[in-house]
Amino acid sequence: MKRLSLATLSLAALMTTAAAEPTVEVMHFWTSGGEAAALSAVRDKVVEEGVVWNDAPVAGGGGDQAKTALQARIASGNPPAAMLMLGQNVIDWANEGLLGDVNVVANAQDWDSVLPQAVKDYTKIDGRYVSAPTNVHRTDMIWASKAAFDKIGADYPDTWEEFNALAPKFREAGIIPLAHGGQAWQELYMFEAVLSGVGGSDFYKKALIDLDEDALSGETMIAVFRQMAELRGMVDENAPGRDWNLASAMVINGSAAMQIMGDWAKGEFVNAGQVPFTDFACIPVPKAEGDAFVYLVNSLSFFEQPDVESQEAQEILASAIMDRDVQIKFNQAKGSIPARMDVNIAQLDECAQTTAASFGHNDAEGSAVPTFAGTHAAKASVVGAASDVITDFFNSDMSPEDGAAYLAEAVTLAK
């Protein structure tokens, strides 16, 4: 057999590389039905532009498993082209010098003018767009089964007192009052929702952004834990370990009355063919003081790539994410609102239109606050320390006073 020369082999390799289609590997933890439907809007646009989409999902709604998988990829020198990450994690990876940027696309499309500052805070780091935002979520929401409320002849709650008074009525009707997935990240999102309702935006800022020790241990925080104690008595015995979308399914099928969860839950209702305020209600948690709006920014962050072709594929991905039609399709499926301010929200459902209007109002009033549970308001070490206390509280008979005291101690040590 004739042996090929080294030069011939090298030429063949170069020709193969040149002929290879541009590819983006997208690592994420969007694995529920509604999430997968949303991501397909981005994928379809990328594929339409001639780029191969390499999907790399990591199961786990809170993203902890995905973070672990990403760290392993980084350690092996093989980062994905793009990764779903949240808040301070984006800032941390950018500060480590591992993220590239898509400023070429951002400048050409004038992202500065179409994105609110709340979104730019977690996508544009030190003047570089290291991330492209897909959407904004509201985390302090209640999802309610209309059939369950009709069965007991009750209105949706406006106060925590009304919320608590519903529980025995639902139990008597054979309905679980509160659908819950007993996972630490879900309890942390529940906690920040309750805190935003009981304390309002000013208290939220003092406790979860400023990490003020008096706020963390004082009477208002004790009241927050007191309400959490009410909630832990409303869940069923099978809650531990349940995924969030399975808890949503309990509300969808009417076996449970309510779920406290970010508006990504709406994607599950929509995916099941349900219609807002016909089959389910989407309402903020009761707001005793102030009108806080807790937001979370989802975005795909871009890791440095070794060649021009890979960088250009990233730019196509970034452009696809920010495409107006994609933003609408993505958020119709995801349950959230577009990151861009210049899209026609009339194309979204009643829940999303209300959320978009509230976000604009609260942002202007200074009462829109970044999620703590989603590591926007504080660094991961602080969030992790708080999460340990809150999940211990929710899964025990710990007193509200002890809960507040332990929280203050844990956060102070983690700062």
pLDDT in tens, 303-331: 999 889 999 999 999 999 999 999 999 99
What are the E-state strand segments in 156-252?
A: 176-178
Mean pLDDT, residues 12-41: 79
User: How many Cβ atoms from other residues are within 10 Å of residue 258's Cβ?
Assistant: 30
CB 259: neighbour CB atoms within 10 A?
A: 26
Q: What pLDDT is attached to residue 3? A: 41
**Choices 3.30.420.40, 2.60.120.560, 3.40.190.10, 3.40.50.1370: CATH for 18-137+298-354:** 3.40.190.10
Tens of pLDDT, residue by residue over 137-171, are 999 999 999 999 999 999 999 999 999 999 999 99
Instruction: Delimit the domains of the chain by residue range.
Output: 18-137+298-354, 141-294+361-414
The partner residues of 370 in beta bridges, in order of sequence, read: 295
Quick one: pLDDT at residue 228?
98
- In this prediction, residue 20 has a pLDDT band, given cuts at 50, 70 and 90, of low
CATH number of 141-294+361-414: 3.40.190.10
C-alpha to C-alpha distance for 194 and 223, rounded to whole angstroms: 10
* pLDDT class of 15 with cuts at 50, 70, 90: very low
Taking only the tens place, the pLDDT of each residue in 339-361 is 999 999 999 999 999 999 999 99
Q: In what order do the strands lie in the sheet with 256-260?
A: 176-178, 256-260, 141-145, 280-284
Question: Per-residue confidence at 291, pLDDT binned at 50, 70, 90?
Answer: confident
The overall average pLDDT reported for the chain is 93
pTM above 0.85, yes or no: yes
First to last CA, the chain: 68
